[in-house]
Chains A and B, each alone.
Chain A
Amino acid sequence: MNLRGTLPTLILQALDRAPDHGYSIAQRIKTSSKGVLDFKEGTLYPALHKLENEGMVESYEEVEKGRPRRYYRITESGRAVLAKDREKWKNVSRAINSLLGESLA
């Protein structure tokens, strides 16, 4: 299922638990959603750069297996935005569920 515009929220959610690098973020999103939320991994990094420009994530470098690896962690303002997005999503999904006639799980 293609849900445009939700990738930044999914990235913030993935980073909420712990800092991580790009590849691992992509795998975490795909496995947590059991493959329902799929996206092309080439678009992950532009979304990460945008979040970094807006101050919602920050990046740092660590050496792993002799190779430098860029890690990302969520900031306080990123957490605030994530909390707002969660609330918005709850309201939207509640509204859609009632329109489609499904009861809330």
Chain B
Amino acid sequence: MEECIARHQFSVRGVARVNTLASWLDRATRGLSTESRAKVRAEIEEHYHAALEEPGATEQSAMLALGDPKTANCQYRKALLTSAEARLLRESAWESTLFCNSPRSARFFLPLIMFAVAMYFLDAGQFRMAGVFAWGGAGITLLMVARWLPIYTPARGRIFRIVRWTWMLGTFFIAGFGTPLMWALFPTLVWVPFYYETTLSSIRRKLPVEQWPKSLYL
């Protein structure tokens, strides 16, 4: 390790220090969001300068004490937002906008239309289609009234998400699970919302509750 660091040192001390710490930081912040990278840079630079103030300290010893930047990067990715998570958080704002800020007419009429179509199919004796539209209407009603529901605490948000996932899987089952086509489509249909939900779970663990946008509760 010491040999590796020594190999990268140049004759000008100032340039060597910046390049060595800079390359450590570059590796340790790989894949993190812009805000996370700035946070890491500030704290590691502060730590590095504090280490250099110790009597007998050298740049080499300060760099050695920091350890492997890959290990630090792995730990940072578990504690701070990655760039993918920050992007998903920005993009998930469209969902909460749709649910919480949709026009009144959409919130009122869309579920009514779904229930009306369900009644039509029920009357025609097509129970499966009636079930799909009734179930779909119930789910859309739930999502549209989310802005008024007292779900914006972590525990209640969890309950809302369980109900929402139950609705999503129920829709799939009612629509025709059991047919070969549905079996074939099931992994594809479930993969995207599953990935989305696991990424949002990771974001919930990394952000303090006070900083949660509404989309994280839904």
Contact = CB atoms under 8 A, between A and B. Distances in A.
B208 A41 contact: no
Size bin of chain B's contact surface: 20 to 34
A55 B66 CA distance: 26
Interface string A50-68: 1011010000000000010
A101 B85 CA distance: 50
Nearest to B76: A46
Contact of A22 (B24, B46, B80, B207): B46
Contacts of A50: 78-79
Nearest to A61: B42
B47 A40 contact: no
Interface stretch (B4-12, B67-75, B98-106, B177-185): B67-75
Given A21-B50, A53-B208, A45 B67 contact: no
A90 interface: no
Contact of A46 (B47, B75, B205): B75
A42 B28 contact: yes
A70 B43 contact: yes
B89 interface: no
B51 interface: yes
A41 B24 CA distance: 13
B110 interface: no
Contacts of B87: none
Interface in B25-78: 28, 40, 42-44, 46-47, 49-51, 65-69, 71-72, 75-76, 78
Contact of A49 (B46, B50, B68, B80): B80
Contacts of A70: 42-43, 46
A42 B206 contact: no
Nearest to B36: A49
Nearest to B28: A42
Given A53-B206, A53-B208, A42 B66 contact: yes
Contacts of B43: 22, 45, 70
Q: Looking at B68, B79, B208, which has the most chain A CB atoms within 10 Å of its CB? A: B79
Contacts of A98: none
Contacts of B66: 40-42
B46 A23 contact: yes
Given A21-B50, A40-B67, A45-B44, 9 more contacts: A21-B46, A23-B47, A24-B50, A40-B66, A42-B71, A46-B75, A46-B76, A53-B208, A70-B43
